[in-house]
Amino acid sequence: MPVPDALEFFIDPGRCIGCQACIQACTECDTHKGQSMIQLDYVDRAHSTQTVPVVCLHCDSPTCAEVCPADAIKRTEDGIVQTARKPRCIACNNCVLACPFGVPKMQTKMNLMMKCDMCYDRTSVGLKPWCASVCPSQALAFGTREEMARLRPQAKPVNTFRFGLQTIRTKVNIMVPRDASSDIVDVTAAMHEPTIGHEILDDVFLGVPDGGDA
Amino acid sequence: MIQSQRGVEGPRDLDHGTVPPDGRPLADQPKWRQDFPIDWAQDEYVSRRELVKFMVLTSGALAAGQLWIVLKSLFRQSPASAVGTPIARVDELVVGGAKTFTYPEGSTPRLLVRTGAATFVAYDQQCTHLLCPVVPAFEVGRLHCPCHNGWFDLETGRPVAGPPQRALPRVLLQVRNGTVYATGVEDSKT
């Protein structure tokens, strides 16, 4: 049974309080074999408590599946990119390295790539995924677009991302300020921000001008 | 306005399969992309659950079919009748002589053999191996199928040599007033 079209997933990193409830809840999902599929990223741990929960964004053209040499990663009719098929996965790690969002996780004990499948056993019957069920600030939310528009009048959902020359459209939406000028989240542009990852990337991208406090 | 977000590059079109990263139509893509689709529906991937379901259902159908055959053979009506159908006169055949007939009307050919002064036997003429017609070999007390050298006992119809494994179906006979009547057919037994 496919996930209902009307129900969508919304990520709002600005609401994340870093409580890790989603990480714990994720392990409870029947399709996750006790593993947590969520990564909670610290944006700049030395200077900020800001965290960003990362679930799979279920790309229209999933890079993980594109690079899979064993044809193990499949997307179901509702656009959910599933965990690698166990009989096919050769645990080569290609998908782990290729995913622009860093979602797939290699379970070396099982020799199997596992990834967020939006709690397929739950969402396919109309329930919320575990993370969205437990998230106290609803940084991870699952519902209809109308609900989102009503509850969060200051934000709008965006589902297009840009990494350099690659544009990615996803099934999952990310919430941005309503008055944002662009409907595209330019992810790599953030690498040139003065604070975020500044210490490392200054050495890597030599052409980048000095930023801020250096 | 919110709805238009999704439509930046047109609606999602999963029905037509995987959208490649370069966005060009599938016809312009290399062949490997058609051979290894990302979408489950195009991949014809058979999950373990689907396989188990298929096997359980087909096994169930097979078992039900077997049961149906058993019930059908248990309740099958024999065409036996007390009156019977006249198939030959006694003086028509010498001892060791044979005649083909059909019983009931429209059946496969049956073979009537006179084995003694007042004794007759009749069997289906089709060999139980590959349906070749059997011929009487009265001098050795057998029926012979020349196709693969199969032999049947003339008295009982049971296979005695060669490929056949099952006995010839026997036609029940009665002799009344100088006429041989067929009154029924016994099923083939091993």
What ipTM is given for this predicted complex? 0.70
Q: Which of B12, B19, B36 faces A71 most closely, judged by CB atoms?
A: B36
Q: Judge residue B30's burial from the number of C-beta atoms within 10 Å of its C-beta, 0-12 exposed, 13-18 middle, 19 or more buried.
A: exposed
Q: Which amino acid is located at B57 in the chain?
A: L
Q: Which of A139-143, A196-200, B82-86, B181-185 has the lowest mean pLDDT?
A: A196-200
pTM of the model: 0.59
pLDDT of residue A212: 46
Instruction: Output the pLDDT for position B68.
Output: 95
Interface of A with B (CB under 8 A): 60-63, 65-66, 71, 73-77, 79, 82, 85, 145, 149, 156-160, 166, 169, 171, 173, 183
* Whole-angstrom distance, CA of residue B152 vs CA of residue B160: 5
Residues A120 and B48: their CA atoms lie apart, in Å, by 17
Predicted confidence (pLDDT) per residue in A149-186, tens digit: 999 999 999 989 988 888 888 899 999 998 888 888 88
Which pLDDT does position A205 carry in this prediction?
Answer: 57
> Is the predicted pLDDT of residue A125 greater than 80, yes or no?
yes
| Closest CA in chain A for residue B48 | A87
pLDDT of residue A214: 41
Residue by residue, DSSP assigns B14-48 as: GGG----TT---GGGS-HHHHHS-SBHHHHT---H
pLDDT tens, residue order, chain B (190 aa): 333 333 334 444 545 556 677 777 777 888 887 788 888 877 776 778 889 999 999 999 999 999 999 998 888 766 556 678 899 999 889 999 999 999 888 889 999 999 988 899 999 999 999 999 999 999 999 999 999 999 999 999 999 999 999 999 999 999 988 899 998 888 765 5
**Farthest CA pair distance, chain B:** 105
Residue with tokens 């074999």: A33
In the predicted structure, residue A191 carries a pLDDT above the cut 90: no
- Greater model confidence, B39 or A16: A16
Q: Give me the mean pLDDT over the A137-146 stretch.
A: 92
For residue A144, is pLDDT > 60?
yes
Average per-residue pLDDT in chain A?
86
Chain A residues in contact with B2 by the CB 8 A cut-off are 145, 149, 156-157
CA angle A18, A23, A27 (to 5 degrees): 170
